[in-house]
Amino acid sequence: MAGKIGIGVDIGGTLTKLAAVTAQGQIIREVQILTRSTESASLFVRRVCSLLHLLESELDADVGGVGLGLAGDVDSERGVLRFAPSLGRWQNFNFRKAFSRRLKFPVVVDNDANLAVWGGYALELRRRPRHVVGITLGTGVGGGLILDGKLYRGATGSAGEVGHTKIETPGRLCRCGGRGCLEAYAGSYGIVATAKALLKSRGRGDSLLKRLCPHPSKLEPSVISEAARRGDPLAREIWRKTGAWLAAGLANLVMVLNPDVILICGGVSRAGRLLTEPIAERMRAEPFRTPFKRLSIRIAVRHNLGCVGAALFALDASQ
């Protein structure tokens, strides 16, 4: 087939997703496997490499590179996973070395949020704005910075950890062990915590959300969105609060980085205007106007940006 393709591998705590992607960002094949992070990292590498070889021969494609996105703090120069609560056993493993030994194409390794934001930058924003703050809303909250059109990594490759900036003092306990982190309010577990607290404060009162989801342990952002779209005041209140917390974290980033665009990616972003409206409202109230005036807040419409971004980043790096 014409043109090189990239293969993106998005390695999360539960699932690992692979996608073969053209340079234009079109997905030509997708597949997912269980991550099984309790097994050894070498075994995982062997499983993924078999799949990569299979994809390559099946597609009869010219693979330009493989990009690996890891849910954790990554030393992208060396290709090592340094810190990852959800991939604990694999810490300090050199993924680039292990994959490169088994593959004949170049391998790049980075934080999963960095690569998802790179994907959103390339496809949703067509690489036009110069400065973009990307935020990924899933179980956790990650981020990636595109400054002057390039992925910015910082001194140790840890830049863009938006989810662990503090928005409340002392605030809720975060998975990282800190208090008041944005993630503890805007990650899906934070949103569920807000929902439970509000439901509890309402006591025995009726609510559509309660009817849609009678078991609080089953609460998740998609149900809360559904209830809000059907007009439930309690569900709307949850999104209003979540949006205001997100706005607090994002306003700090705007003050510091003065981006052209904030790009919101990840599953929770499907809440759409339920989320962006309280953010925009809060930002309109900022007295220091200049950095907010030209700012545009965008929600990424594509799913699977983690894989796609990893594939595109690998293709970009191989050129």
Place of tokens 């090189």: 4
Distance CA 18, CA 68 (A): 9
Three-class secondary structure of residue 318 per DSSP: helix
**At 132, phi and psi to the nearest 5?**
-130, 130
Tokens standing for residue 128: 């036009």
Three-class secondary structure of residue 178 per DSSP: coil
Site for its own copies, residues 6 to 45, rule: CB under 8 A: none
109 within 8 A of 101, measured Cβ to Cβ: no
Three-class secondary structure of residue 198 per DSSP: helix
Q: Which is nearer to its own copies, 178 or 272 (by Cβ)?
A: 178
Three-class secondary structure of residue 101 per DSSP: helix
Cβ 294 to its own copies shortest distance, Å: 6
Q: Does 247 bind its own copies (CB under 8 A)?
A: no
| Contact region with its own copies (CB under 8 A), list: 19-27, 36-44, 124-132, 307-315 | 124-132
Cβ 285 to its own copies shortest distance, Å: 9
Size of the site for its own copies (CB under 8 A): 48
Q: Does 256 bind its own copies (CB under 8 A)?
A: yes
Residue of 167, 246, 250, 308 that binds its own copies (CB under 8 A): 167
| Contact region with its own copies (CB under 8 A), list: 29-37, 120-128, 176-184, 298-306 | 176-184
Tokens standing for residue 113: 């949020």
| Contact region with its own copies (CB under 8 A), list: 95-103, 142-150, 225-233, 304-312 | 142-150
Q: Which is nearer to its own copies, 167 or 268 (by Cβ)?
A: 167
Cα angle 217-231-184, degrees, rounded to a multiple of 5: 40
Residue of 30, 168, 220, 226 that binds its own copies (CB under 8 A): 168
Place of tokens 């309010």: 185
Residue of 252, 302, 317, 318 that binds its own copies (CB under 8 A): 252
Residues 6+ apart with CB under 8 A from 114: 69, 76, 144, 151, 153, 160
Q: Does 255 bind its own copies (CB under 8 A)?
A: yes
| Interface residue list for its own copies (CB under 8 A) | 73, 82-83, 129-131, 143, 145, 147, 152-162, 164-169, 176-178, 248, 251-253, 255-260, 286-291, 293-295
